Amino acid sequence: MGKSIVERAYYLMKLGRVFEERAKEEYMKGNIAGFLHLAIGEEAVHVGATLAFGKGDLFVHYREHVWALARGMSPKTVMAELFGKKTGVSKGKGGSMHLFDPAFNFYGGNAIVGAHLPHAVGAAYARKYLGHSEGVLVAFGDGATNAGNYYESLNLASLWELPVLFLNENNFYAIGTRVDRASAVKELYKKAKEFMPAVRIDGMNFFEVFDAVSKAKEYIETEGKPYYIEALTYRYEPHSMSDPGDYRSPRELKVFHDKDPVEFLKKEGIKRGLLTQEFIKQIDERVEKEVEEAVQFALKSPEPEDKELYTDIFCEVCTDVVP
Q: Which residues contact other proteins by CB under 8 A?
A: 33-35, 84-85, 90, 92-95, 97-98, 110-114, 143-144, 146-148, 174-177, 181-183, 247, 303-304, 306, 308-310, 313
- 132: which DSSP letter? -
261 scored as a contact of Mg ion (CB under 5 A): no
Q: From the CB of 253, what's the least distance to Mg ion, in Å?
A: 15
Q: How far is the first Cα of the chain from the last one, in angstroms, to the nearest whole number?
A: 57
Give the one entry of ligand TPP, other proteins, Mg ion, none that residue 118 binds, where binding means its C-beta sits below a cut-off of 5 to 8 angstroms depending on kind: none
Give the one entry of ligand TPP, other proteins, Mg ion, none that residue 238 binds, where binding means its C-beta sits below a cut-off of 5 to 8 angstroms depending on kind: none
Q: From the CB of 219, what's the least distance to other proteins, in Å?
A: 29
Residue sitting closest to Mg ion (CB): 141
Cβ(104)–Cβ(73) under 8 Å?
A: yes
Q: From the CB of 145, what's the least distance to ligand TPP, in Å?
A: 8
Cβ(249)–Cβ(172) under 8 Å?
A: no
95 scored as a contact of Mg ion (CB under 5 A): no
Residue sitting closest to ligand TPP (CB): 141
Residue 214 makes CB contacts below 8 A (sequence gap 6+) with 52
Q: From the CB of 173, what's the least distance to ligand TPP, in Å?
A: 6
- Of the CA atoms within 13 Å of residue 118, those in its CB half-sphere come to 9
Q: From the CB of 49, what's the least distance to other proteins, in Å?
A: 22
121/144 with CB nearer ligand TPP: 144
Give the one entry of Mg ion, other proteins, ligand TPP, none that residue 251 binds, where binding means its C-beta sits below a cut-off of 5 to 8 angstroms depending on kind: none
Q: From the CB of 314, what's the least distance to other proteins, in Å?
A: 11
The one among 141, 163, 261, 269 contacting Mg ion by CB under 5 A: 141
- Using the Cα atoms of residue 38, residue 111, residue 66 and residue 260 in order, give the sign of their dihedral: positive
Q: Which amino acid is at 305?
A: E
Give the one entry of Mg ion, ligand TPP, other proteins, none that residue 110 binds, where binding means its C-beta sits below a cut-off of 5 to 8 angstroms depending on kind: other proteins
Which phi and psi (to 5°) does residue 68 adopt?
-65, -45
What is the C-alpha separation between 234 and 169, in angstroms, rounded?
9
Cβ(148)–Cβ(187) under 8 Å?
A: no
In degrees, rounded to 5, the angle at the alpha carbon of residue 274 between the alpha carbons of residues 268 and 278 is 95
Give the one entry of other proteins, ligand TPP, Mg ion, none that residue 63 binds, where binding means its C-beta sits below a cut-off of 5 to 8 angstroms depending on kind: ligand TPP
203 scored as a contact of Mg ion (CB under 5 A): no
Give the one entry of other proteins, ligand TPP, Mg ion, none that residue 230 binds, where binding means its C-beta sits below a cut-off of 5 to 8 angstroms depending on kind: none
Is residue 247 exposed (0-12), middle (13-18) or buried (19+ Cβ within 10 Å)?
middle
Query: Which of these, 38, 29, 81, lies nearest to 243 by C-alpha position?
Result: 38
Cβ(181)–Cβ(173) under 8 Å?
A: no
Cβ(72)–Cβ(11) under 8 Å?
A: no
Give the one entry of Mg ion, ligand TPP, other proteins, none that residue 308 binds, where binding means its C-beta sits below a cut-off of 5 to 8 angstroms depending on kind: other proteins
Give the one entry of other proteins, Mg ion, ligand TPP, none that residue 252 binds, where binding means its C-beta sits below a cut-off of 5 to 8 angstroms depending on kind: none
Residue numbers 167-196 binding Mg ion by CB under 5 A: 171, 173-174
Residue 242 makes CB contacts below 8 A (sequence gap 6+) with 35
What is the C-alpha separation between 203 and 209, in angstroms, rounded?
6
181/254 with CB nearer other proteins: 181
- The residues binding Mg ion (CB under 5 A) are 141-142, 171, 173-174
